[in-house]
Amino acid sequence: MTIYSRYFRNEKKMMKQTIVIGLGNPLMGDEGIGIVLIEKLEALARQGKIPKAEGIRFHEGGVGGMNLLHAIAGWKRAILIDCALMGAEPGTICRFTPQQVQSIKKLSHLSVHEVDILKVIEIAKQLDECPEQIVFFGVQPLEIIQRMELSDVLKSQIDRYVQTILNEINQPF
Amino acid sequence: MSKNISINVHHITRVEGHGNIVVNVKNGTIEQCQWQVPEAPRFFEAMVRGRRFDDIQTIVSRICGICSISHSFAAIKAVEDALGLEITEQADKLRLLLHYSEIMQSHTLHVGYLVSPDLFGEKSVVPLVSKAPEIVKKIIKIHRVANQWSELLAGRITHPITVIPGGFSMIPSEQQLKDLKKQLEEIVPDLAAVCEAVLSVADKFPAFERETEYISLKQDNPPLYALFHGDITSTDCNGDGPVPVREWERVANEYVTPQSTAKWTRWHRDAFAVGALARFNNNAELLSPLAKKVADMFGLKKGNCNPFMNSVAQLAECAFVVENAIQTIDALLSKGLKQEKVKVSPRAGRGSGCVEAPRGILFHTYEFNKNGECVAANICIPTNQNHANIQKDFEKFVPEFMHLGEDGLRHGMEMLVRAYDPCISCSTHMLNVTFVK
């Protein structure tokens, strides 16, 4: 599949089952965990190591924002991988649904550059284009600093994170 | 009216910075009135040192999640300037088309999701969905087309992967460009409806003016409303001619101030503004017919000094990029698209690049050694160029609108900051949640 084949025409014909979205910024240390993991998953899919990958799209979502609204629209299931402050030990990966958490993120509402993903999901619901199932995988960061690599705590657990997400992908829903 | 006002809109998290608004009025006298930007210093300029010339755009596109295409292009142009590279007419047109998509994405986001709630009397776009569903759906449709437009040309919606020094690594097919053209033609009525909706509540834009210096690109050869090419001009230039992009540092004159960790700028005066209104004030006669119609609807004329009208100038620019993109697609298709090979050899040199990011003029400069490794970098973002101007606006706005009282004044000042479409706290975004028991 070329990078363009999904544009406008092909994606409409595609069975839109599951979209897996990695979010984050790889220039900001552990904030980039979602991007690192989506790249690993994409590589596995390219190598044919993910069964039934034809109905799955792996999507690098950058820092998300309102673009996430468009990315999840029309898919049956969305799996979002992101750095998350959850009050857990650094390196902890948690599976949760939007219903299981409350956002405590404070927005200034001064800039379009800050977005609360849980609010984007709320808008998707209001527009009736929200996936039937949304699952988050949050990874608690150790350090969010200007650095182009993950902390050792997260780096050493990448295989485990990938396997955890693969287990979810393979779950019937 | 209360003679005492205390406003302290304070937002600081661990890494992200936000703008703080601080006002203290005692017995009717303004004791403090500040726009503070305690943004954590960014070290992106240091991050690219030692990196190869063809890695630069990939890294700097992550500085911002909204203006990533602009950062990519400013960087690529600087690299090409340093390496003495020329690009083909086809590559230049495809880049222009991609750049327009980001203008469309960002302006729609700003006017639709951030400014509209103010005008319709809502706190955010979330309640606006149920209050004005039809118009929100149109905004979302336009934003969605703009996203697909970027994805077609950049390989993904943000953080382009197809744009490389010397041209493109991959280009779309002619059929895909035809499909894009059809989509663009289809959103013109939606865009007109959004303009009408904003016009219906345009009386909510505060009547506020302050004589301001406006800085933007200006393109003379061929003349075109400047978003991508050109030299630097100002409403204060008075015939002393546009300044070449390579000399941008003598325009920006960056300096530090105790109230901000972001650098501020000044040129002919102690502050200047950049962004859509600046571009309009320097280039309005070059807008397309539909864009001029949008400006006329709102009575926006060259020389306007009301910062709130920046959102209206953005709407006019949305119309311009759609119209000009359709023409650009026709020009590309008339010649036929071909995959062009790009071969680049490193060499030592220094170069600068500039584009109009959605929120204003953006400068990048890099220096490379003979192996093509970066040894120095300097980036000047539009939001930093607007900080001093926001401060000057505050100093005039507060005494003029003090009669609104604490809540009204705070809301007005927040609207004023939002009008500048600032890029603050965009490099991180992480979730912050607590589990429901």
Q: What is the pLDDT of residues B246-302, one digit of tens each?
A: 999 999 999 988 888 788 999 999 999 999 999 999 999 999 999 999 999 999 999
Buried b (16+ CB within 10 A) or exposed e, B176-199: bbebbbebbeebeebbbebbebbe
Q: Residue range A119-148: average pLDDT?
A: 92
Instruction: Please name the member of A27, A60, A111 whose beta carbon is closest to the beta carbon of B59.
Output: A27
Quick check: pTM over 0.90?
Answer: yes
pLDDT of the residue at B380: 92
Instruction: Please name the member of A27, A99, A111 whose beta carbon is closest to the beta carbon of B422.
Output: A111
For residue B242, the distance in angstroms to the closest alpha carbon of chain A comes to: 31
d(CA B229, CA B245): 10
pLDDT of the residue at A2: 33
Instruction: Please name the member of A106, A138, A146 whose beta carbon is closest to the beta carbon of B11.
Output: A106
Q: Which residues on neighbouring strands pair with residue A56, listed in sequence order?
A: A18
Chain A residues inside the 8 Å CB shell of B140: 69-70, 127
At residue A103, does pLDDT exceed 50?
yes
Chain B residues inside the 8 Å CB shell of A112: 66, 106, 109-110, 113-114, 421
Residue % of chain A over a pLDDT of 70:
84
Answer yes or no: do A127 and B140 touch at CB < 8 A: yes
pLDDT of the residue at B240: 72
pLDDT of the residue at B8: 73
pLDDT of the residue at A9: 41
Q: Which of B425, B381, B427 is nearest to B17 (CA)?
A: B425
Instruction: Please name the member of A27, A101, A104 whose beta carbon is closest to the beta carbon of B427.
Output: A27
Other Cβ atoms closer than 10 A to B330: 11
At residue A1, does pLDDT exceed 50?
no
Q: Which of B146, B183, B125, B165 is nearest to B344 (CA)?
A: B165
Instruction: Please give the residue of chain B at the shortest CA–CA distance from A108.
Output: B11
Q: Say if residue B127 is preceded by a cis peptide, omega within 30 of 0.
A: no
Chain B residues inside the 8 Å CB shell of A42: none
Tokens of A161: 């994170």
Fold of B44-389: Cytochrome-c3 Hydrogenase; chain B (1.10.645)
For residue A109, the distance in angstroms to the closest alpha carbon of chain B comes to: 8
Other Cβ atoms closer than 10 A to B173: 13
Instruction: Please name the member of A7, A108, A115 whose beta carbon is closest to the beta carbon of B429.
Output: A115
d(CA B376, CA B123): 43
Q: Which of A39, A1, A45, A12 is nearest to A23 (CA)?
A: A39
Buried b (16+ CB within 10 A) or exposed e, B216-252: bbbbeeeebbbbbbbbbbbbebeeeebbebbebeebb
Q: First vs last Cα of chain B: how many Å apart?
A: 45
- For residue B92, what are the contacts with CB-CB under 8 A and spacing of at least 6? none
Tokens of A124: 């998707």
Per residue of chain B (437 residues), what is the pLDDT tens digit?
A: 567 888 776 653 333 446 788 899 988 899 999 988 766 556 788 899 999 999 999 999 988 888 899 999 999 999 999 999 999 999 999 999 999 999 999 999 999 988 998 999 988 888 888 888 999 999 999 999 999 999 999 998 888 999 999 999 999 999 999 999 999 999 999 999 999 999 999 999 999 999 999 999 999 989 999 999 999 999 998 777 799 999 999 999 999 888 887 889 999 999 999 999 999 999 999 999 999 999 999 999 999 999 999 999 999 999 999 999 999 999 999 999 999 999 999 999 999 999 999 999 999 999 999 999 999 999 999 988 999 999 999 999 999 999 999 999 999 998 999 899 987 755 445 566 666 65
For residue A151, the distance in angstroms to the closest alpha carbon of chain B comes to: 16
Instruction: Please give the residue of chain B at the shortest CA–CA distance from A95.
Output: B435
Instruction: Please give the residue of chain B at the shortest CA–CA distance from A85.
Output: B432
Q: Is B353 helix (H, G, I), strand (E, B) or coil?
A: strand
Element (H, E) at B387: helix B382-401
d(CA A108, CA B293): 34
C-alpha distances out from residue A13 to A7, A16, A17, A42, Å = 11, 9, 12, 21
C-alpha distances out from residue B72 to A111, B90, B160, Å = 21, 18, 7
For residue A173, the distance in angstroms to the closest alpha carbon of chain B comes to: 23
Fold of A14-170: Rossmann fold (3.40.50)
Answer yes or no: do A144 and B430 touch at CB < 8 A: yes
Answer yes or no: do A7 and B151 touch at CB < 8 A: yes
d(CA B330, CA B97): 11
For residue B41, the distance in angstroms to the closest alpha carbon of chain A comes to: 10
The backbone torsions φ and ψ at residue A131, rounded to the nearest 5 degrees and listed phi first, read: -55, 150
Chain B residues inside the 8 Å CB shell of A148: 47, 59
Chain A residues inside the 8 Å CB shell of B123: 109
Give the mutation candidate from B430, B435, B437 for the A interface (greatest A CB count, under 10 A): B430
Taken as a whole, chain B contains a residue count of 437
pLDDT of the residue at A15: 64
Tokens of B23: 């006002």
Predicted confidence (pLDDT) per residue in A50-89, tens digit: 877 778 999 998 887 888 999 999 899 999 999 998 999 9
Q: How do the domains of chain B map onto residue ranges?
A: 44-389
Other Cβ atoms closer than 10 A to B397: 22
Chain A residues inside the 8 Å CB shell of B113: 66, 112
Predicted confidence (pLDDT) per residue in A14-35, tens digit: 568 999 999 998 988 999 999 9
For residue A49, the distance in angstroms to the closest alpha carbon of chain B comes to: 24
For residue B341, the distance in angstroms to the closest alpha carbon of chain A comes to: 18
Instruction: Please name the member of A25, A103, A126 whose beta carbon is closest to the beta carbon of B432.
Output: A103
Other Cβ atoms closer than 10 A to A48: 8
Supply the ipTM of this predicted assembly: 0.86
Instruction: Please name the member of A65, A110, A123 whose beta carbon is closest to the beta carbon of B422.
Output: A110
Q: How do the domains of chain A map onto residue ranges?
A: 14-170
Answer yes or no: do A65 and B429 touch at CB < 8 A: yes
Answer yes or no: do A84 and B109 touch at CB < 8 A: no
Give the mutation candidate from A6, A23, A63 for the B interface (greatest B CB count, under 10 A): A63
Instruction: Please name the member of A7, A73, A141 whose beta carbon is closest to the beta carbon of B152.
Output: A7
Instruction: Please name the member of A8, A63, A138 whose beta carbon is closest to the beta carbon of B429.
Output: A63
Instruction: Please give the residue of chain B at the shortest CA–CA distance from A138.
Output: B431
For residue A105, the distance in angstroms to the closest alpha carbon of chain B comes to: 5
User: Residue B252 CA to chain centroid, in angstroms?
Assistant: 16
- For residue B147, what are the contacts with CB-CB under 8 A and spacing of at least 6? A67, A70, B105, B157
Instruction: Please give the residue of chain B at the shortest CA–CA distance from A137.
Output: B431
* Angle, vertex CA B427, rays to CA A134 and CA A86, nearest 5: 45
Answer yes or no: do B431 and A8 touch at CB < 8 A: no
